[in-house]
Structure 1
């Protein structure tokens, strides 16, 4: 598992990282994300137009503030040029999310002056396929607005987050209760969510159904 050293900001491969030893960023991708191949070998503080790198740096800062040595960000911690590594990562993601110490959900379209209860249900974070398992798997999710102000947590706003996402309250409290929820019910949570690649409409649900399989991008619907 590739992780970002929160102190040096270097990418490090960690075999079987300890549970609760890293933080994870959940976000919607923009046009200036930093990939594994383009991740700087000597990272520097991001310029205002380097939004992808700025998110990585902020994630590391928040991780360090909690005494965590590592952070994981999907844009740069997966070598997507390797089909084997991509397949392994997608098959492992739900467990990685569950094992994280904390999950930072960055809502890039939630302005600081907008009340969370009024603005959350309109955030594009709720419309993306991959963020569904990112909401369910971790024990704790912290929600930040566009300016990185902490607005609430999953445990602190369970009722409102359940209403906005459609996910059953008991699952938000404990993801291990997924198996108690009917298949059709779980599918309904994702019915209005979108993914960039059509195959990801299925792949982003694998963790919700405890399914593991190889990735075959290009096979279509």
Structure 2
């Protein structure tokens, strides 16, 4: 697992996990994201995505975390093997993170008491496929607006998040209940979400349904069929057939 040192701004690699607790970022991709190739180059600071990485590190450091994992710069996506390993491990990485910083770039709300009236419920973050596991897996999910002001946590906004996502409060409040949910229920949580790449609507569910499989970008809709076949092969959950 490659992580970003919040003090030195250097990437560090560990065979399993960092020796200390780590934080993790959840966000939606925008223009000029800082990639693995960019992070240590002089031009990085002039890129639009640099501020997000910098502010995330600052918040993590303030909260006492030496390391933070950010998908855009901690995965070398030029390596198909590394990308495949990362995507198959991602759910576990979010599950084991001490805290997940959820950055809502399209939300300017500041008043925590009235966010249900503002941009929060309409944030793009709630519509994306990848952010489903990022909402469910971490023990602590803290929301931040576009200026990195805290909007509270998943726990403090359970009813609102349940209303936005259609996910039962019992699942949002106690993540162990994710394991008790059937495949059909998990698929229903993702049914209104979208991904940029067609294959990713299958790949983003791998950890949630407990399946590990290789990535084949370019296979299109066949990715979801492969996911279904792998679920049939490895589980006894027949609710897949009623989906």
Task: Specify the TM-score bucket, using the shorter chain as the normaliser.
Answer: over 0.9
For normalisation by structure 1, the TM-score amounts to 0.93
- Tell me which of 112, 115, 122 is aligned to 2:109: 112
For normalisation by structure 2, the TM-score amounts to 0.85
Structure (1 or 2) with the greater helix fraction:
2
Gaps of 5+ in 1: none
Cα distance, 1:179 vs structure 2 = 2.8
Larger displacement relative to structure 2 (13-22 or 149-158): 13-22
Matches within 5 A, 1:82-97: 82-97=79-94
Cα distance, 1:41 vs structure 2 = 4.8
Q: Secondary structure at the match of 2:17?
A: coil
Given the alignment of the two structures, is residue 123 of structure 1 paired with residue 130 of structure 2, yes or no? no
Larger displacement relative to structure 2 (123-132 or 159-168): 159-168
Cα distance, 1:20 vs structure 2 = 6.3
Higher relative contact order (CA 8 A, sep 6+): 1
Q: Which residue does 2:157 correspond to in 1?
A: 157
Root-mean-square deviation (CA, aligned residues, Å) is 1.7
- Paired with 2:58 and 2:185, the residues of 1 have a C-alpha distance of 38
Deviations 1:164-206 (A, max 9, x none): 1111212212222223222222111111111111000100011
Given the alignment of the two structures, is residue 11 of structure 1 paired with residue 8 of structure 2, yes or no? no
Given the alignment of the two structures, is residue 179 of structure 1 paired with residue 179 of structure 2, yes or no? yes
C-alpha contact (below 8 Å) 1:19/1:99 kept by paired residues: no
Given the alignment of the two structures, is residue 80 of structure 1 paired with residue 77 of structure 2, yes or no? yes
Greater radius of gyration (CA): 2
Larger displacement relative to structure 2 (76-85 or 11-20): 11-20
C-alpha contact (below 8 Å) 1:20/1:100 kept by paired residues: no
- Paired with 1:74 and 1:184, the residues of 2 have a C-alpha distance of 28
Q: Which residue does 1:71 correspond to in 2?
A: 68
Q: Secondary structure at the match of 1:156?
A: helix
- Paired with 2:179 and 2:69, the residues of 1 have a C-alpha distance of 27
Runs of 4+ in 1 over 2 A off after TM superposition: 41-44, 112-115
Aligned length: 218
Q: 1:19 to 1:206 in 2, by over 3 A?
A: farther
Q: Secondary structure at the match of 1:143?
A: strand
Cα distance, 1:42 vs structure 2 = 6.8
C-alpha contact (below 8 Å) 1:135/1:141 kept by paired residues: yes
Q: Secondary structure at the match of 1:4?
A: strand
Q: 1:148 to 1:111 in 2, by over 3 A?
A: same
